[in-house]
Amino acid sequence: MLTCFGPLTFNRLALLPSSREDAQKLKETGYGKIIFPLDEALEIVNLPFKITAPTMLEVAYWAQSSPSYELAAKRIKHARGLEINIERIRSVTNAVGKIVFDNDAREAEKALEILDSGNLIFKESDNNHILYLDTDGAMVQTRQENVQGSTWKENKLGVAFSSEYFSYYYDKKIQKKRPRVGKREYRAYVGDVENFKKHFFALALRNGYGSFRKTILLGDGATWIRNTREELFPDAQQILDYYRLSENISTFFKSVFDKDEQKREDWTEKICELLINSEAEEAKKEIISLGDKLLSKSAFNLLNYINNNEDNIDYKKYIENGYFIGSGFIESGGKSVLQQWLKRPGARWNVDCAQNMATLMAKAQCGLWRQDVVSPVLKFYGANSEQLNNFSLL
């Protein structure tokens, strides 16, 4: 029997033999040592934070799923009886997130290399489903200033899903069947558009881009999204998110008719009705009829917005073909993947830490924790196959 004593003078736990027989066993196990430090017995001597790789993964999971490190500490203690201080939770989570993000970054670079090499070949496929790609941006408060002196950093989020995993339910309100999205995958990047595009393209390839009957790129009509389609997905149909368009129309008329709410509502409804029926030219004529004096009251140029997206607003046709015309999935993803942690009131992030946290949250949200987090982290720390197979968390 081996006896474990408490903290020694050098602040390490050790195993000491309680009999000569145990002393011999310990000597054989510990490469000739009679006093065998507990971290070596647990095979964590070469691991950071002196906890096992599976425990690191569990700490990171609780951290990304909690709105604060304080709450994560309480949940870990309640679930596992482990007391881990907040700073260690932060460090462990960041370490795990970095391993996962570095894997994603290598995948993104490789995807772009294939594209730039001209060797991107799509095999013929009988897949009759539709691949949807959706993307949006937000700003994250950081502790690092850019060249303009601002501490705000761009954060982009992409999502990929296909009609292959749709299920349908009956919507009593519209008295029609509506699709419910099943499998989806998010990819977050804290940084500039050029680097995000690599990750977005890798996300598309990973989810079968090139093997579907149709690819649709949803977005809010920003110039960088249109450029992304032209550069990376020239065969895709871009669709301007109708609900974002409706919001912009409402905001525009709020400025034009700032003191007349009824007129704002009437004009918003009129223009939206024309556009949803693919009558863009008629909608533009109605807007122009307001005259320069009223139009100049809004800083947002609605006419330019419609003109810039004229190839992406044939909503009547899209609806007839059964396409999604709204970006609800990227909106919900933004709330779950980004806002829970990165957009907390008063939060100011180190850029790398923000990226690592966003990466972990994206993996957890789309059910890829075991595949994209557990496997690479255990392998990174040299975990054996038995540890990998026995790891049960998600």
- For residue range 110-144, list pLDDT tens digits in order: 999 999 888 888 877 778 999 999 988 778 888 88
| CA atoms of 53 and 49, how far apart (whole Å) | 10
* The predicted structure's pLDDT at residue 3: 46
At 211, list the tokens. 């093997």
Q: State both tokens at 393.
A: 């968390």
What's the mean pLDDT in 1-5?
44
Q: Between β-strands 130-141 and 214-219, what pairing exists: parallel, antiparallel or unpaired?
A: parallel
Task: Give Cα 1 distance to the centre of its chain.
Answer: 50
359 — phi, psi (to 5°)? -65, -45
Residues 17, 26: contact at Cβ < 8 Å? yes
Q: What is the pTM of this model?
A: 0.82
Segments making up each domain of the chain, as ranges: 1-41, 50-120+356-394, 122-240, 244-310
Task: Measure the CA–CA gap between 204 and 186, rounded to whole angstroms.
Answer: 10
pLDDT in tens, 84-113: 999 999 999 999 999 999 999 999 999 999
What's the pLDDT score for residue 5? 45
